[in-house]
Chain A
Amino acid sequence: MSDTPPRLGLRGISKRFPGVLANDNVSFEVKAGEIHALLGENGAGKSTLVKMIYGIMQPDAGEISWNGERVVIPNPKVARKLGIGMVFQHFSLFEALTVLENIALGMDAKIPQRELEGRIKQVMEQYGLTLDPRRIVSDLSVGERQRIEIVRALLSNPTLLIMDEPTSVLTPQEVEQLFVVLRQLAKEGCSILYISHKLHEIKALCETATILRGGKLVDTCDPRVETSRSMAEKMIGGNLRDIHKPAGRSFGREKLVVTELSMPGLGHFGMSLKDISFRAHAGEIFGIAGVAGNGQTALLLALSGEATTDDAQAIRIEGEEIGGLNAKQRRLKGLASVPEERNGHAAVPDFTLSDNSVLTGRDRLRLAISGIIRPGRARRYTGEVISAFDVKTTGTEATAGSLSGGNLQKYIMGREILQKPQVLVVSQPTWGVDAGAAAAIHQALVDLAAAGSAIVIISQDLDELLQLCDTLAVINGGRLSRAMKVSEADINEIGLLMGGIHGEGAAAAPSAPAPSAIGAEATSAA
């Protein structure tokens, strides 16, 4: 066994981008049939590294070997020919086409449709992936869409499968199903390179973990013997901060009341909202869980005022009806929001941070008075945000686009929190943010709630919600479940609610593999 060459070997791989060394002399090996985790914060260089393995980018220095032989992989087609398959974080699927058509479009070789359908069915049977090849992609859940990508990758019989953050869009039950497939693949000799920052998943799945930080390889360890905390600290290169939640919290008055809110979906494939009702009290952190694409975007827009409704009483803040008000007017009433997309939605990338403060703070903070912007006040406020939230930037006149994801998110959260809103609605507050920044953002949210504001967090990261929230509801198919106390919530029930109507068929057997490991880990953290 020991003299078999590794499936994949990297030696001294370096890649430089303008202003940043994305990979610095990275070397590691992936053995045949091994499930190998590639772990690191955002911006640690994981994606760059796998893009070079898959032939999308070329390394500036270093060499790649495949089964012991040195290879150059100039493009993904060559990578696939070698036996490397990849499932991307963002799917490349045409919504209006069927599963079969989508797979046919992605194949290198032209295969007659009937033959292809037969092969798809065979692969699905082999790995227990259920999916009707004739269904239209737009009708599928995210988990089902991911299955298409997996099937597409498996059709070329890969001996190395790269998975880039595959579970970020899945329900706990879907994650379990995915792991079953990956373990089976590994048993058959296929190596798997698994990219993630979810430590408990890596502990449950992987045999080896390679940890990157700032483009450098900092450690290789066996995740089964490490703790989540020890790996997290290796990942961020420091001590993990704990979140201090005041004990014995009680809630005050109702701040935000949503009553039977219905909204049409955005665009052709957008999910509409149906009869959403919930209430958030002063001091309460209210979480909305759910798999991506179940109406979260529409809900955020409806609450922030970017979409308005004729039914003014559907949304009330401190008793006042605000359903018909736009974002600017709602801010004046005390409702601030942070959408999930930072660049181009929460902030204008080409604008300076000062100008971005004017974007949402101009009325509440009087950064503009009778139609004239006050640059001095805007700079001063931006300076306060930068120092209070420890934003790493060259100053208030740096463009928002020049900040890293985590720093920009800290700035945006700070910009809203320092306005002391009565209600703050946040979507994916720590999406793509490094662990250090995530901890700072979580603490700021807890502090804002403690100061008497009501906070609504819409997130796909269930662990985050279980850790932060007092109350939790699940959105699925544009409907919101009843609210439950997090302390009494049952992870299994939440998972089933997340799977909801979509899960039928696919997640029909979910009751069997209870994702107890995930539940235990997450709740103990909270």
Chain B
Amino acid sequence: MRLRLEKRQEPSRLMVVVTPIAAVLLTMLIGVIVFDAIGINGQKAVVDIFLTPLLASYKWQDVAVKAAPLIIIALGLSIGNRANVWNIGAEGQYIIGALCAAGVGIAAGGAGGPVIVMLMVLAGVAGGAAWAAIPAALRTRFSVNEILSSLMLTYVATQILGYLVGGPWKDPNGRNFPATAPLIPDQTLPILVPGTTIHLGVLIAVILPFVFWAIMARSVFGFQIRVVGSAPQAARHGGFDSKQTIWLAMLIGGGMAGLAGSLEFTGALKAINLGFPSGYGFTAIIVSFLGRLHPIGCLIAGIVLADTYVGGQLAKTSVHIPDSTAGIFQAMMLFFILASDIFVRYRLRIVRTQKAAPAMAAGE
């Protein structure tokens, strides 16, 4: 008896849904085993990281606020990933987006109100898209691999942030900390649920997946992205321009990351300091794949990943493990989802080997 992988005639729709769930469950299981092995109460750690944030109502707002940027960035990245355009630099585009929003806010001085806030957010979108335009131009003009260029630009963005918040934009009243002055209330996003931290950006993060879904399913643009990703030659045969596709995918990915950055700045943090880049742009890559590159999948996966962020902080106090443990869990999830992908196209079958006695004239 042995196991054999057999190609399915059609990709399994069931497995598309089952494997992400299995990836999360496997991650939890492995987590229990590993923590128990190193002498920490594994069950409690896993429950705290995965379940407590969802079960305790006072943690819901934290999950929602953390999920919003993850979902928004992941939506943009999914478009690129579907078209085989690999934008790894969403973190940098997120930073530039927030900085552009801050720049508009500073330029507006004491002025505020919905128009200014809208301009700030739009500046964030434009800034993120512009940052992503650099790898897009390098790729289409000089065939520079966008994985490397977009990733490296993230570090450039971090340096720009460090320069601005430590220099020209430093809060004069901030006891010399490298941080911008806090936004005046008129330049912040409205809070949706009074008494919580849930801001308008959360609502946007809930609506956008449905907009993206409609675009991907019904528009010629969504069709173009799907064809380019699935069969690039067929896309050319259908008259779709591959350079245009790369440009669009990069600009949308960057624009969404910039949107997330500006919403996070105007809605949640209200000031930019050196700790502003918190890895959302990288975690969103996991969200995008855990969500199967599907907009609604991104919505769900964004909540799951935000859950582990919040849970990681909880576990720090309850079972005394570093909150970077959440990062380990997130990476494990990505690992399992990528590994289990094979079951969408293949099925596992147990075969009985009839003893293939090598009765051939092997002696000679």
Contacts and interface: CB of A to CB of B under 8 A. Distances in A.
Interface of A: 18-19, 58, 66, 69-74, 78, 82, 304-306, 326-331, 337, 339, 341, 344-351, 355, 358-360, 362, 368, 371-373, 375, 399, 401-402
B231 interface: yes
A348 B360 contact: no
Contact of B361 (A69, A355, A358, A368): A69
Q: Which 9 A-B pairs have the closest CB atoms?
A: A328-B239, A327-B239, A359-B238, A71-B360, A348-B231, A344-B231, A345-B233, A306-B236, A348-B234
B6 interface: yes
A18 B360 contact: no
A372 B220 contact: yes
Interface stretch (B7-15, B89-97, B245-253, B300-308): B7-15
A349 B359 CA distance: 42
Contact of B220 (A18, A19, A373): A373
A362 to B, nearest CB: 7
B231 A331 contact: no
A326 B221 CA distance: 17
B41 interface: no
A78 B360 CA distance: 9
Contact of B223 (A337, A349, A358, A402): A358
13 contacts: A58-B356, A70-B359, A72-B360, A326-B239, A327-B236, A337-B237, A344-B231, A345-B237, A346-B234, A350-B230, A359-B234, A372-B220, A373-B219
Nearest to A362: B220
A469 B219 CA distance: 41
A341 B231 CA distance: 12
Contacts of B168: none
Contacts of B11: 350
Contacts of B231: 344-345, 348-350
A76 B219 CA distance: 50
Nearest to B226: A351
Given A328-B239, A348-B227, A359-B227, A371 B233 contact: no
Interface string B1-21: 000001111110000000000
Interface in B215-244: 218-221, 223, 226-227, 230-231, 233-234, 236-241
A431 to B, nearest CB: 16
Interface in B313-364: 356-362
B248 to A, nearest CB: 13
Contacts of B362: 78
Given A348-B227, A373-B220, 8 more contacts: A82-B361, A306-B237, A327-B239, A341-B233, A348-B230, A371-B219, A372-B220, A401-B10
A66 B359 CA distance: 12
A345 B223 contact: no
Contacts of B237: 304, 306, 327, 337, 339, 345-346, 359-360
A305 B240 CA distance: 11
Given A329-B239, A344-B233, A371 B227 contact: no
A67 to B, nearest CB: 9
A405 to B, nearest CB: 15
Q: Which one of B227, B239, B240 has the highest number of Cβ atoms from chain A below 10 Å of its Cβ?
A: B239
A303 to B, nearest CB: 12
A364 to B, nearest CB: 11
Q: Which one of A19, A73, A348, A355 has the highest number of Cβ atoms from chain B below 10 Å of its Cβ?
A: A348
B10 A72 contact: no
A474 to B, nearest CB: 26
A427 B240 CA distance: 21
A368 to B, nearest CB: 5
Contacts of A375: 218
A339 B236 CA distance: 11
A305 B236 CA distance: 9
A416 B8 CA distance: 30
Interface string B284-300: 00000000000000000
Contacts of B241: 326
A344 B233 CA distance: 6
A344 B6 CA distance: 22
Contacts of B359: 70-72
A18 B6 contact: yes
Given A72-B357, A373-B218, A360 B238 contact: yes
A270 to B, nearest CB: 14
A402 B10 contact: yes
Contacts of A306: 236-237
A372 B230 contact: no
A246 B313 CA distance: 81
A375 B361 CA distance: 61
Given A18-B6, A339-B237, A347-B234, A72 B220 contact: no
A137 to B, nearest CB: 25
Nearest to A325: B239
Contacts of B220: 362, 368, 371-373
Contacts of B219: 371-373
A360 B240 CA distance: 10
A517 to B, nearest CB: 39
A18 B8 contact: yes
Nearest to B349: A18
A62 to B, nearest CB: 12
B6 A71 contact: no
Contacts of A349: 230-231
A306 B234 CA distance: 10
Contacts of A401: 10
Contacts of A402: 9-10
Contacts of A341: 233
Given A72-B356, A72-B358, A371 B239 contact: no
Contacts of A371: 219-221
A75 B11 CA distance: 30
Contacts of A58: 356
Contacts of B360: 71-73, 78, 82
A250 B11 CA distance: 50
Contacts of A329: 239
A371 B223 CA distance: 10
A360 B238 CA distance: 5
A350 B13 CA distance: 12
Contacts of A70: 359
Q: Which one of B8, B233, B234, B356 has the highest number of Cβ atoms from chain A below 10 Å of its Cβ?
A: B234
A375 B217 CA distance: 10
Nearest to B232: A344
Contacts of A327: 236-239
Interface in B183-219: 218-219
Nearest to B234: A348
Nearest to A301: B236
A337 B231 CA distance: 17
A224 B172 CA distance: 100
A69 B364 CA distance: 14
A404 to B, nearest CB: 12
B196 to A, nearest CB: 38
Contacts of A337: 237
Given A18-B8, A359-B234, A71 B239 contact: no
A490 B358 CA distance: 55
A331 B239 contact: yes
B146 to A, nearest CB: 21
Nearest to A332: B239
A375 B218 CA distance: 8
Contacts of A72: 356-360
A341 B218 CA distance: 27
A368 B230 CA distance: 20
A328 B238 contact: yes
A397 B231 CA distance: 18
Contact of A355 (B6, B223, B236): B223
